[in-house]
């Protein structure tokens, strides 16, 4: 008589997912560099605009535009380097599914961000209201909070939960402060350093440590 198949409980499924995530692999360099460089560079840009708002920085329009474009060019250059390095090392596919599981969550978030950019960008131009565009940042932090919550559910690392909760709080704060430019820039600056650059540094450190150990 054939054995009766064993039914899996939710605890079994959760244990299986944790085993997949903890079973090996290193954080992808692309993800780490994206957060670290993005947080530092765009945090610096927010500081720059904050200085303009309070009158400490008085640059000509052309110089300001060059600075803003330079920030984006620098970020894209660093990101390209990280992508090429990941491909060379095979980082995105290394390990039982750890990198791919987290990559899927953050890649889906990035794809959604693209749609949000289009929606709020078109809306701001159509309504001639820059505040409409500012809601975009709030949505970005909300989506990042969701992605980090997924990461915390799988990895159970306290800093991931803290990042998720911080992203949620930042999203709410930015949504409320779109008509308060100084407060808005202040919150955005702190959040970029604390919720993008700092987690990026942690991921970058872990990725380099794993790479060195390998």
Model pTM? Answer: 0.76
The answer on pLDDT for 18 being more than 50 is no
Q: What is the pLDDT of residue 17?
A: 44
Tokens of 193: 């350093």
What is the reported pLDDT for 105?
Answer: 64
pLDDT at residue 209 in the model: 78
**Which of 5-14, 44-53, 122-131 is least confident?**
5-14
CA atoms within 13 A on the CB side of 167: 24
Measure the CA–CA gap between 199 and 201, rounded to whole angstroms: 5
The three-point CA angle 111-117-120 to 5° equals 140
More confidently predicted of 209 and 12:
209
**In whole numbers, what is the pLDDT of the chain averaged over residues?**
79
74-88 mean pLDDT:
82
CA angle 105, 132, 66 (to 5 degrees): 80
CA 43 to chain centre: 13
Instruction: Find all residues with CB under 8 Å of 42, minimum gap 6, and list them.
Output: 71, 75, 192, 196
């Amino acid at each position: 008589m054939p054995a009766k198949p064993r039914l899996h409980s939710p605890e079994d499924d959760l244990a299986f997912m944790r085993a997949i995530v903890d079973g090996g692999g290193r954080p992808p360099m692309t993800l780490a560099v994206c957060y670290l460089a993005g947080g530092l560079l765009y945090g610096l840009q927010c500081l720059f605009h904050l200085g303009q708002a309070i009158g400490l920085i008085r640059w000509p329009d052309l110089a300001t535009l060059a600075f803003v474009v330079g920030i984006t060019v620098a970020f894209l250059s660093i990101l390209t380097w990280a992508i090429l390095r990941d491909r060379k090392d095979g980082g995105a596919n290394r390990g039982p599914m750890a990198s791919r599981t987290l990559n899927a969550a953050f890649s889906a978030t990035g794809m959604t961000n693209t749609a949000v950019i289009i929606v709020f960008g078109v809306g701001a131009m159509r309504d001639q209201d820059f505040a409409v565009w500012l809601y975009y940042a709030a949505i970005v932090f909300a989506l990042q909070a969701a992605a980090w919550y997924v990461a915390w559910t799988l990895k159970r690392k306290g800093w991931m939960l803290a990042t998720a909760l911080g992203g949620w709080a930042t999203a709410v704060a930015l949504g409320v402060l779109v008509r308060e430019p100084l407060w808005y820039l202040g919150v955005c600056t702190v959040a970029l350093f604390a919720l993008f650059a700092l987690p990026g540094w942690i991921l970058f450190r872990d990725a380099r440590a794993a790479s060195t150990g390998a």
